[in-house]
Amino acid sequence: MNQTYMKEKPILPLLLSMALPMVISMMVNSLYNIVDSYFVARISEEAMTALSLVYPIQNFITSVGVGFGIGINAAISFFLGAQDQKKADAAATQGLFLSVIHGIVLTVITIAVMPLFLQPFTKDVTVIQMGNAYSRIAFGFSIVISLEITWEKIFQAVGRMRVSMICMMSGCIFNIVLDPLLIFGIGPFPKMGIEGAALATGLGQVVTLVLYLAFYFTRPLPVKIHKSCHVDRAMAGRLYAVGIPATLNMALPSLLITALNGILSAYSQVYVVVLGIYYKLQTFLYLPANGIIQGMRPLIGYNYGAGETKRVHRLFADTLYLSLGIMLFGTVFCQLFPDSLIALFSSNPETIQAGGMALRIISLGFLVSSVSITSSGALEGLGKGTPSLLISLCRYTIIIIPAAFILSRIFGASGIWYAFGITEFATAVIAYMTYRRATIKN
């Protein structure tokens, strides 16, 4: 199948055609995150606290899948752009094989470590029991998650964004519908509480994976998955060279949330809940922005492989402008309605007041964060995983954790919210300089 349209069509219409299906599916994914948390919050505030504490490990599982998937995506796009069909097929085949191994390892490790992980952050026995109950079921689907994300990145690498949108949206919608049925025991369904939320999530991921397989076998792709897999060290090295930094990029928020939970828990469990709510709400902005970047990534990889350097830089610029538009909307909304947003997840006046203040402060950094996320995504598309990792390290560890610790000693818990904005401004400068330095020779 001819993929030359990736280097021939006008850039903005091409980018929109690739990105809009991903933005739509990311919006549905965001809705799932909100709805899932909304129903869990209806169980009790302890349940919402448990979900907030489990989130970093849950995010880490997804991060491994997405990070390695980005490595597969970048390799396939590059080889298709360079007209090397054999290596494009090898990247897809080996990527799937290695993803199965990742899923098995993650299932064993995460379920085993969870009881120990929760103890430093809460002494509430109910919260710990709920966290363990949720994670045992949710983490049992790690292999499904790993495979589902790998197929997603393979379809995206060859420009099948609408198929990816259909599969992802179907899984999310299935999850949204199943959530209240399994949590509250509506109709013939058992009342499972927080375990029902975990099971609904896992079954939604199964639906997504099954649909990807159905599309693969009924609508041939420009890349083929071979039944036998000989792991070539050079190819595996290429996948991991992008996949490991991309995984760390995705996993760093988990490290950040864990560190901030440790600082916030010294003040009040209310702030732990607020941080968990914020990370659910911010998906409404960062997931759609990520959808645009997902549309950009294979285009940049293909054009880079084809030697179309000017198109690479234009793709970066147009993606940045679109991300800025999303972040501007989010900033205005969080400034105008912060308390109402927090009230979706808590009826506790103290939580609503603390959360509203946090949203007003954190949202001041949304606009400038567009530079960092666009630069990081572009570098991944170019196969430059290490510079992309540098940006994320600044954004999620090197700057924000020391800033949060120091400012919390001066301003109390609210100092942590100020650390977000300071970090975004500093990282934006570093991100743009890193992107320019990495691409100056091109």
Burial class (CB in 10 A: 0-12, 13-18, 19+), 156: buried
Domain ranges of the chain: 5-439
Mean pLDDT of 162-186: 91
Stretch 181-191: mean pLDDT: 93
CA 173, CA 325: separation in Å to the nearest integer?
26
Selection from 11-25, 45-59, 348-362, 374-388 with the highest mean pLDDT: 348-362
Mean pLDDT, range 395-409, rounded to an integer:
94
Residue 63 pLDDT grade (very low, low, confident, very high; cuts 50, 70, 90): confident
Position 1 scores a pLDDT of 46
pTM > 0.75:
no
Contact call for residues 107 and 60 (beta carbons, < 8 A):
no
CA angle 426, 364, 343 (to 5 degrees): 135
Backbone angles phi and psi of 398, in degrees to 5: -60, -40
What percent of the chain stands above pLDDT 70?
97
Does residue 234 register a pLDDT over 80?
Answer: yes
The confidence score (pLDDT) of residue 32 equals 76
> For the segment 5-55, what is each residue's pLDDT rounded down to a tens digit?
667 788 888 888 888 887 887 777 777 777 888 888 888 888 988 888 898
Ranges 248-257, 335-344, 401-410: which has the least confidence: 248-257
pLDDT of 436 strictly over 90: no
Q: How do residues 203-233 score in pLDDT, each as one tens digit?
A: 999 999 999 999 999 988 889 888 877 778 8
Does position 388 have pLDDT exceeding 70, yes or no? yes
Biggest CA–CA distance in the chain, Å, is 63
Q: Is the pLDDT of residue 164 over 70?
A: yes
Question: Does 247 score more than 60 pLDDT?
Answer: yes
So what's the pLDDT on residue 202? 93
pLDDT at 249 over 80: no
Mean pLDDT of the chain: 88
**Amino acid 441: pLDDT:** 53
Give residue 6's pLDDT.
66
- Residue 181: phi and psi, rounded to 5, are -65, -45
Give me the mean pLDDT over the 150-173 stretch: 89
CA–CA separation, 219 vs 242, rounded Å?
A: 28
Better pLDDT: 1 or 363: 363
Number of CB atoms found within 10 A of residue 119's CB: 10
